[in-house]
Amino acid sequence: MTLKFGTDGVRGRAFIDLKPEWVTKLAFSAAHALQSETVVIGTDGRESGPDFVEALRVGFQAKGLSVWYMGTVPTPALAHAASAHDIAGAMVSASHNPSSDNGIKLLSAGGKKLNDDAQKQIEEILDSNNFPAFPAADARIEPTHYHLAGDWVSFLQASINGRNLKGMSLVVDCANGAVSSFASETLRSLGARVISIHDDPDGLNINKDCGSTSTGSLQSAVIENNADLGLAFDGDADRVLAIDRSGRVIDGDFIIAICAEDMKERKVLNGDTAVVTVMTNLGFHIAMKDRGIQVHQTPVGDRQVLAALEENGWSLGGEQSGHIIFNDFSTTGDGLLTGIQLLDVIKRSNKGLDELADLAMVRYPQILKQVNLPRATLNIEELLLDEIAKAEIELGDDGRILVRRSGTEPVLRIMVEASSYEIAESTANKLVLEAESHLSEP
């Protein structure tokens, strides 16, 4: 079965679902859609990464593209290089997934994520299975353009307009990933006192019990070191979560709310609008309405967020997971940029992250359940419309319901937010029962 593009590129088990020979065909198929004669490649440091880097090189060069290789760098560093040089990019990364997985993220000329039409075009070429005989892979290529990562660091340092982070203490969790060589030194160069953990990648420990998907050790480290806050990156550092001084996780919804209010006050929030996905907490919507900030919703995926930002010229958007895009600075989610922007707000406000988060929004209890769909063609969402409408009336303005089919597996996801956990749980359970009732009908 041919792999398909998901919400963030193509991803699968290395050498099982995702194979080098298929990646070569992907590169060959994508060459025209990337709209560039040059493509810059990077990897997040997984053990399997070099095999897929070489597979990409073979495919791109078979189509006549020049290849630059940055080596092990964060996805935003690669995107910055593509944007600065107006070339295409290809990142070998499975983001927050375990080391046994890998994936490919493609960026068109200028560092932009591919739109749906481009992805469909590439998939059609792949499905045609009309490929030449590719040359054998050479020995693993050595980085030729690692120095471009230094340009990204300089850009990060300049993003707070000459201000600094002196007096701030933090702990950073690098997820044993691509940001391990960059996070602490970049933040220290801005004056912060930094303790760095999980910054010793060996190709197999990326995201293992650390990073944005496993924040326990960072939460403990922040408390033990009496730090102002912590930052938790994922494997390729395109996302970040924060930890306040009490050890509480401050997710993307809170970070966007904090930054949106600050940007509005400084008159740099274009259109006074923030872009978020349908999974963003109801508390965010209520808080933004109270502050005169418009909220635009998109489907799940930072690619969808970026499309809305670019189409409307807006400045800020992102996801609960910590994928946050500062559109005036970057073409993609950038965890280290987000961290620096958040730290800058904290320092200028003379408030702690905990206080800023409490002022920014109140999180509504959220229940997420799923129902297996043995009959993938059944239009279960439409069958549930009456039940959903009834539940929404009962919740009123103090609740929200989202029912959607998963894009990656045969399940229906039911999300309910309400003013109390009990109400959210009860409502979600009712909808699960209704869905199962429809599925059991002959």
Residues 66 and 144: beta-carbon distance below 8 Å: no
Q: Which of 143, 52, 122 is nearest to 90 (CA)?
A: 52
Q: What is the mean pLDDT of residues 65-93?
A: 98
CATH homologous superfamily for 366-440?
A: Alpha-D-phosphohexomutase, C-terminal domain (3.30.310.50)
CATH homologous superfamily for 10-149?
A: Alpha-D-Glucose-1,6-Bisphosphate, subunit A, domain 3 (3.40.120.10)
Q: What is the mean pLDDT of residues 350-360?
A: 97
Residue-wise pLDDT for 157-214, tens only, equals 999 999 999 999 999 999 999 999 999 999 999 999 999 999 999 999 999 999 999 9
CA–CA separation, 321 vs 309, rounded Å?
18
Q: Is the pLDDT of residue 442 over 70?
A: no
Q: What is the mean pLDDT of residues 297-323?
A: 93
CATH number, domain 165-248: 3.40.120.10
CA–CA separation, 114 vs 107, rounded Å?
6
- Compute the mean pLDDT over every residue in the chain, rounded to the nearest whole number: 94
Q: Is the pLDDT of residue 414 over 90?
A: yes
Q: Is the pLDDT of residue 312 over 50?
A: yes
Q: Which of 99, 106, 337 is nearest to 233 (CA)?
A: 337
| Structural tokens at position 29 | 């198929």
Residues 330 and 79: beta-carbon distance below 8 Å: yes
Q: Burial-class residue 26 by CB neighbours within 10 Å (0-12, 13-18, 19+).
A: buried
Residues 91 and 73: beta-carbon distance below 8 Å: no
Task: Give the model's pLDDT for residue 84.
Answer: 97
Confidence of residue 4 (pLDDT cuts 50, 70, 90): confident
CA–CA separation, 334 vs 322, rounded Å?
9
Confidence of residue 1 (pLDDT cuts 50, 70, 90): very low
Q: Sign of dihedral through CA atoms 27, 71, 170, 262?
A: negative
Q: Sign of dihedral through CA atoms 49, 50, 55, 58?
A: positive
- The DSSP 8-state label assigned to residue 213 in this structure reads G
Q: What is the mean pLDDT of residues 10-31?
A: 95
Q: What interhelical angle do 148-158 and 335-349 show, nearest 10?
A: 20
Confidence of residue 115 (pLDDT cuts 50, 70, 90): confident
Q: Is 36 a catalytic residue?
A: no
CA–CA separation, 413 vs 367, rounded Å?
10
CA–CA separation, 180 vs 200, rounded Å?
7
Q: Is the pLDDT of residue 436 over 50?
A: yes
Report CA-CA distances (Å) from 242 to 76, 80, 250, 317.
18, 23, 5, 17
Q: What is the mean pLDDT of residues 81-101?
A: 97
Catalytic residue among 36, 83, 95, 212: 95
CA–CA separation, 287 vs 259, rounded Å?
13
Q: Which of 208, 218, 216, 224 is nearest to 339 (CA)?
A: 218
Report CA-CA distances (Å) from 203 to 145, 196, 231.
21, 18, 22
Q: What is the mean pLDDT of residues 115-132?
A: 90
- Residue 63 contacts by C-beta under 8 Å, 6 or more apart in sequence? 27, 28, 31, 32
**Taking every pair of C-alpha atoms in the chain, what is the biggest distance, in angstroms?**
67
Please state, as a whole number, how many other Cβ atoms lie within 10 Å of the Cβ of residue 299: 15
Instruction: Considering the chain, tell me which residue range(s) the CATH 3.40.120.10 domain(s) occupy.
Output: 10-149, 165-248, 251-363
Phi-psi region of 233 (alpha: psi -120 to 50; beta: other; left: phi over 0): beta
Q: Is the pLDDT of residue 17 over 50?
A: yes
Task: Give the model's pLDDT for residue 100.
Answer: 97
> Residue type for 50, please?
P
Task: Calculate ∠ Cα 147-238-264, nearest 5°.
Answer: 110
Q: Is the pLDDT of residue 32 over 90?
A: yes
Confidence of residue 139 (pLDDT cuts 50, 70, 90): confident
Q: Is the pLDDT of residue 376 over 70?
A: no
- The DSSP 8-state label assigned to residue 226 in this structure reads T
Confidence of residue 150 (pLDDT cuts 50, 70, 90): very high
CATH topology of domain 251-363: Alpha-D-Glucose-1,6-Bisphosphate; Chain A, domain 3 (3.40.120)
Q: What is the mean pLDDT of residues 224-243?
A: 98
The pairing of beta strand 169-173 with beta strand 88-92: unpaired
Give the range among 144-158, 174-188, 403-417 with minimum mean pLDDT. Answer: 403-417
> Residue type for 254, please?
F
The DSSP annotation for 46-98 comes to: -TTHHHHHHHHHHHHHHTT-EEEEEEE--HHHHHHHHHHHT-EEEEE--TTS-
Q: Is the pLDDT of residue 375 over 70?
A: no
The DSSP annotation for 336-351 comes to: HHHHHHHHHHHHHHT-
CA–CA separation, 350 vs 348, rounded Å?
6
